[in-house]
Amino acid sequence: MLTALVTGINGQDGSYLAELLLEKGYRVVGYVRDSASTSAVVPGLHVVQGVLDDERRLREVIETFAPQEIYNLAARASSAHLFADPIRTAEINGLAVAKMLEVIRTTDPRIRFCQASSSEMFGHVSDAPQSERTPFRPRNPYGVAKLFAHGMVGTYRDSFGVFACSAILYNHESPRRSDHFVTRKITLAVARIQSGLQDRLYLGNLNAQRDWGFARDYTAAMWRMLQVSAPDDYVIATGESHSVREFCEIAFSHVGLDYRNFVSGDSDNSRREEPVPLVGDATKARTVLGWQPTQSFDRLVRTMVEADVAWITSQRGVIPSGV
C-alpha cells in the first residue's frame, strides 16, 4: 500500500485529493495546523497535527509514516488578505517549502513531492496565455513567497535529484471553496437572495477576468504529476478567461434572477483591472500527463449554485464556510 502525506488536507483541494488517493488504495496522512479544524476532511484518514514550518515535526511525521508521495497544499490564502502579515506569508508559503524539501532530501530522497504553486507568480504579464516558459513578475507577498517555493522545488530537483514538481494552478473552484473567495461569495449570495435572506451583493470590479476551473480536476493533475517517470513543472488551467460579471450572470440566471437587480460594485474591494488577463496554457499537462478539464465554466458555476441552494434550504439560512 502506498502512503501519501497531504498538507492542507482540510481545505478544498485537500479534501478532493484525499478522496482520489483513497479511491486508488493509498493510506492517506493529513498534516494539519489545528486538529479542531478538520471538519471538511473525508473519512478514512490518519490526521496528524503540526505547523508547516516546523522542520523537526515534519521530519518526525515523515519518519513515522514513511510516505512515498507528499503533496503540499497548505498555504496562507491569497484572497482578500494578500498584503496582511507578509512576513508570516513568506515563512509559510515560501520558507516552509524549503524546509520540507530539505527533510525529504535528508530523510528519504526517493519520496516524490508536489508543490501547489500559483498563477499569482506570473503577476504583471505582457502576453496571454501563460505557459511554463512565461517570465514570473509577482506583485504581492503571496505571489513572491510562492515563487520562492517554486524556485526551491526546481533547485532540489536539479541540484539534489529530488523528484519534485510544481503545479502552477490557476483559479479553481467548487462547492467546497471557502466563502472568503469571490466565487463562493456569489453563489452563497444567490442562494440567500433566492431564499429572501439577503437583499444585495457588493463586489469589486465585475470586469476582472480569471481562468476558472474545477478543483477536483486540478488535484487529479497533481496526482498525475507524481506518476510519470520524470519530475517537472506544469501549468494547470482551462485556457479560458471569464469575467466576474459572467460568473454573476450564470449564477443568478440559474435560479431565474437577473444579477443586475442584485449586484452592486464596492470600490473598497476593487482590484486594478489587468491589461492582460491571467489565463493558462496547459498544453504540456495535456500532452505529457494526459490531463484535461472535465467540467465547463458554465457547469462549474451552476454546480456551486445548486450546492449552496441545497445547503441554505436545509439549514434555513445558516451560512456555511464550506459544503
Contact between 270 and 219 (Cβ < 8 Å): no
The separation between the first and the last C-alpha atoms of the chain, rounded to the nearest angstrom, is 30
Report which DSSP code applies to 295: S
Separation of alpha carbons 93 and 143, rounded Å: 9
Give Cα separations from 41 to 44, 47, 79, 237, 304 (angstroms). Answer: 9, 9, 22, 25, 19
Bridge partners for 48 per DSSP: 31
Report which DSSP code applies to 115: E
Grid cell in block for residue 240: 479560458
* CA atoms within 13 A of residue 231's CA, in its CB half-sphere: 22
| Catalytic residue IDs | 118, 120, 142
- Strand, helix or coil for residue 218: helix
Grid cell in block for residue 62: 515523515
Closest CA to 107 of 68, 148, 72, 75: 68
Separation of alpha carbons 62 and 106, rounded Å: 11
Alpha carbon 106 to its chain's center: 28
Grid cell in block for residue 163: 523528484
